[in-house]
Amino acid sequence: MVPTDGLTNSKDTGDVTEARSILELTSAGYSVSVPFGDNDSYDLLVEVDDGFIRVQCKTAWSVGSRVIRFNTHSQTTADGEYYERTYDGEVDAFFVRYPETDTCYWVDIDAVSGHRMDLREEAEIDHPAINWAEDYEFDGTIPQ
């Protein structure tokens, strides 16, 4: 279940995540643009040396012990029908806020597959398939 941070609905939670993303990115010195309306698959455009990065903002939640999860797809309902789609080819990265620890993560689209991604804070074993949360923690620099 996706958290609501005590807010009244998931739209409010998403707005807080988007605002936090803008704060973190602009505080790090990046120029950030917000597209007009809600029809684009990305939430932000971040200017970098060689152009713009299309960023989708996501709110993460806990799953089990020390696992942070976020969706890498969008869910919508139109005319009573439920739709899901991934962001492949539509965004370049995810900016993820984990409210439980107030930590933010930068995840390149090439690092995700499927409809969700798990970031682990710790595990019983060290396996190459594990996505370690610390490797994605946003430190003010966008990996190039």
Number of Cβ within 10 Å of residue 115's Cβ equals: 13
Whether 3 shows a pLDDT value over 60: the answer reads no
| Residue range 10-136, CATH number | 3.40.1350.10
The pLDDT of residue 81? 87
Which pTM does this prediction carry? 0.88
Helix (H) or strand (E) holding 100: none
pLDDT at 128: 78
Over residues 80-86, mean pLDDT: 87
Closest CA to 54 of 91, 109, 94: 91
In angstroms, the first-to-last Cα distance of the chain is: 32
Which tops the pLDDT comparison, 38 or 66?
66
Q: What residue segments make up the domains of the chain, in order of their start? A: 10-136
User: Which residue(s) pair with 34 in the sheet?
Assistant: none
